[in-house]
Structure 1
Amino acid sequence: MAKILVVDDELGIRVSLWRALEFSGHKVTLAKDGEEGDRLFRENPTDLVITDLVMPKKEGLEFMSGLLVDFPDLKILVISGGGVKASSKDIELLLDTAQTRGAVKTFAKPFELHEILACVRDLLAADAD
């Protein structure tokens, strides 16, 4: 069982990931934006972070960059739809930027839940080796 922080401003995404990850045996903490995610992680660090990029208060790139300064080995998985008016090219650019800044894997919204779960499983298994 791993501890996972899920940060997304969309309630439906947070709840879907929470249910699936908890069902898979993980302990999940939820945050609605990068500011809350940063506070929760620093109070109680997790094994893995799953974060959106476009959020109010503190967006995902700023959030993940700040964490990686202090926790360089932290595994961060990024999910993003790029915001309401984003084109597929904008989303691709955002996800590429996240990967160059330290995300271990990125997924465009809408994503397949089973793909996220497989990625989480693989990342955590790599840590166990």
Structure 2
Amino acid sequence: MRVLLIDDEPMVRKIVRRMLERLGHTVVEAENGRFGLNELAKSAVDLVVTDIIMPEVEGLEVLMAIRQQYPSVAVVAMSGSGHASAFNTLDFASKLGATATLEKPFTCDALARAINQSAGHQMVA
């Protein structure tokens, strides 16, 4: 599966990229939502794994844009547990159409479960 990973923290991208590659996926990275949406416009992906809290274009904006422009693309939303509202943010992401959510930090097994949950994703446009 080709995965677009969007997170503004280089260390998080590095760790999650390694997890995704360990799970057998090809990974394209973007450092924020603006770059992520640009990357999505250039090349097809099967899944987007995006952080929620980012500069320029936040993950919720990315999620809404994907639902409008690329409704068949699955989206796993993630947010750091250090944010007081991480749970509410992830709940809101689910309501906006995220196919799975993850609270950081998470394990490779949790990521695999989120991807499996998203694999059956079928949005109605």
State TM-score, norm by structure 1.
0.86
User: Match of 1:40?
Assistant: 39
Change (3 A) 1:95 1:39: same
What is the CA–CA distance in structure 1 between the aligned matches of 2:104 and 2:59, rounded to whole Å? 14
Letter in 1 for 2:77: V
Q: Which runs of 4+ in 1 moved over 4 A?
A: none
Q: CA deviation at 1:23?
A: 2.4
What is the CA–CA distance in structure 1 between the aligned matches of 2:78 and 2:54, rounded to whole Å? 12
Q: CA deviation at 1:94?
A: 0.5
Q: CA deviation at 1:24?
A: 2.2
User: Match of 2:51?
Assistant: 52
List runs of 5+ in structure 2 lacking aligned partners: none
Q: CA deviation at 1:122?
A: 4.5
Q: CA deviation at 1:121?
A: 3.7
User: Match of 1:28?
Assistant: 27
What is the CA–CA distance in structure 2 between the aligned matches of 1:69 and 1:120, rounded to whole Å? 21
What is the CA–CA distance in structure 2 between the aligned matches of 1:5 and 1:14, rounded to whole Å? 11
State TM-score, norm by structure 2.
0.88
Question: Sequence identity of aligned pairs in percent?
Answer: 31
What is the CA–CA distance in structure 2 between the aligned matches of 1:102 and 1:122, rounded to whole Å? 13
1:93 lines up with 2:88 in the alignment: yes
Question: Secondary structure in 1 aligned to 2:91?
Answer: helix
Q: Name the larger-Rg structure.
A: 1
Letter in 1 for 2:74: K
User: Match of 1:63?
Assistant: 62
Question: Secondary structure in 2 aligned to 1:123?
Answer: helix
Give the number of aligned pairs. 121
Higher helix proportion (structure 1 or 2): 1
